[in-house]
């Protein structure tokens, strides 16, 4: 056997999420509605699909290791310099690289209890020490995060806006105040995976070269390219340059780069997606209310629904939906585990969910 490091020997072999494919293999048949992974079922821009189709013929070549054309377009889109942008294998990949750059064994990292678990996975993988603060209601708590960072001397602070798994968001003003309060020597990770689907007042004004914050964006959500694995980060040039020390320079394929560039240039399709997601959120909220559940306000492509009981009850509801062919997920930390989380989808998806939910609730109550 390889001589693993002591850290690696101490860690369990685990996958942060159980994928729908895994569940389908166990069940022996496919889900009727795939509403658990916050994928954009409305799909990529037709222009992006065409660009990826054309790029597939060139798949014998490595992708541009500098992601030059995409970075140039992103710089123009954000009013930044190319030196302020790094492209990577989705936000997950970029989070892993950032943790590798900054965190060593025992270094303090602050996040919210119940927030995005893949970030925690990376911190554990590099030996960092996680310090968690509770949500304030259904929102992450910027003031508590900053206070905990001061208390622990944290090197990284993680906050998602809009939030997963609750779908809530903070105003631009609140986030700008948070940036001003970041302690000396700390870096705020602002995960904006869902920001294109959020209200305008959720998008703060932050200079691209502000050394206190790095903003992470993705083509997985609003642009419908989760399977292409491509995202980017905006930050101060010295930090962005440091990614070249550790990143997989051929990690983003030619196909993904071509698709992302075309998607970025198709504003009409993005507007169509926003409208489709908003309509589906309304449909999901109506289904929830019709069944006695409370839909939480959402700035994302999912609706989190309060089932009105505890985590055990919500888990029974989720299991009942899965048994009926509806793939959904739920928050995993109390008190948010009183909820299920359902991604937006097509009219057929909504109809399948609406048909299955009353039976899942009845079964959960009988149990």
pTM of the model as a whole:
0.96
Quote the Cα angle for 327-365-136, to 5°. 70
Give φ, ψ of 259 to 5 degrees.
-65, -45
What is the CATH T-level fold of the domain 6-43+268-366, as seen in this structure?
3.90.1150
49 pLDDT tier (thresholds 50, 70, 90): very high
Report d(CA 49, CA 43) in Å as an integer.
9
The count of other CB atoms within 10 Å of the CB of residue 227 is: 10
46-266 carries CATH number 3.40.640.10:
yes
The two structure tokens encoding residue 343: 């991604």
Quote the DSSP letter at residue 228. Answer: G
Q: State percent of the chain over pLDDT 90.
A: 97
Burial of 126 (0-12, 13-18, 19+ CB in 10 A): middle
pLDDT digits (tens, 9 = 90+) for 8-30: 999 999 877 889 999 999 999 99
Burial of 352 (0-12, 13-18, 19+ CB in 10 A): buried
pLDDT at 118: 95
On whether the CB atoms of residues 363 and 316 are closer than 8 A, the answer is yes
pLDDT digits (tens, 9 = 90+) for 73-128: 999 999 999 999 999 999 999 999 999 999 999 999 999 999 999 999 999 999 99
Burial of 61 (0-12, 13-18, 19+ CB in 10 A): exposed
pLDDT at 333: 96
Q: Start-end ranges of CATH 3.90.1150.10 in the chain? A: 6-43+268-366
Averaged pLDDT score across all residues of the chain? 97
Which stretch of DSSP H or E encloses residue 187?
Answer: strand 187-191
Q: Start-end ranges of CATH 3.40.640.10 in the chain? A: 46-266
- Nearest Cα residue to 304 out of 164, 158, 119: 164
Whether the per-residue pLDDT at 207 is higher than 80: the answer is yes
């Amino acid at each position: 056997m390889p001589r693993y490091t002591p850290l690696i020997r101490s860690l369990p072999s685990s996958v942060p999420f159980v994928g729908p494919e895994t569940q389908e293999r166990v069940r022996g048949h496919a889900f009727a509605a795939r509403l658990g992974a916050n994928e954009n079922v409305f799909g990529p821009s037709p222009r992006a699909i065409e660009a990826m189709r054309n790029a597939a013929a060139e798949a014998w070549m490595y992708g541009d290791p500098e992601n030059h054309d995409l970075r140039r377009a992103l710089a123009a889109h954000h009013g930044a310099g190319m030196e302020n942008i790094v492209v990577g294998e989705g936000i997950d990949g970029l989070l892993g690289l950032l943790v590798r750059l900054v965190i060593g064994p025992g270094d303090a990292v602050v996040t919210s209890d119940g927030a995005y678990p893949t970030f925690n996975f990376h911190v554990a993988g590099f030996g960092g020490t996680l310090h968690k603060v509770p949500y304030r209601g259904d929102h992450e708590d910027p003031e508590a995060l900053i206070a905990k960072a001061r208390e622990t001397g944290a090197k990284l602070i993680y906050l998602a806006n809009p939030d997963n798994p609750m779908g809530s968001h903070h105003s631009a003003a609140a986030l700008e105040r948070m940036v001003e309060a970041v302690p000396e020597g700390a870096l705020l990770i602002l995960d904006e995976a869902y920001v294109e689907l959020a209200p305008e007042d959720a998008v703060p004004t932050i200079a691209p070269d502000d050394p206190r914050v790095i903003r992470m964006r993705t083509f997985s959500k609003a642009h419908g390219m989760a399977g292409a694995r491509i995202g980017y980060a905006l930050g101060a040039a010295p930090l962005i340059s440091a990614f070249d020390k550790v990143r997989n320079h051929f990690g983003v394929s030619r196909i993904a780069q071509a698709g992302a560039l075309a998607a970025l240039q198709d504003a009409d399709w993005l507007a169509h997606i926003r409208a489709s997601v908003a309509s589906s959120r309304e449909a999901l909220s109506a289904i929830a209310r019709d069944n006695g559940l409370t839909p939480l306000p959402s700035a994302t492509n999912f609706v989190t629904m309060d089932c009105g009981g505890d985590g055990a009850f919500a888990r029974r509801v989720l299991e009942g939906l899965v048994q009926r062919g509806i793939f959904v997920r739920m928050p995993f930390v109390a008190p948010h585990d009183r909820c299920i989380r359902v991604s937006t989808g097509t009219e057929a998806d909504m109809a399948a969910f609406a048909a299955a939910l009353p039976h899942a609730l009845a079964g959960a109550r009988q149990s």
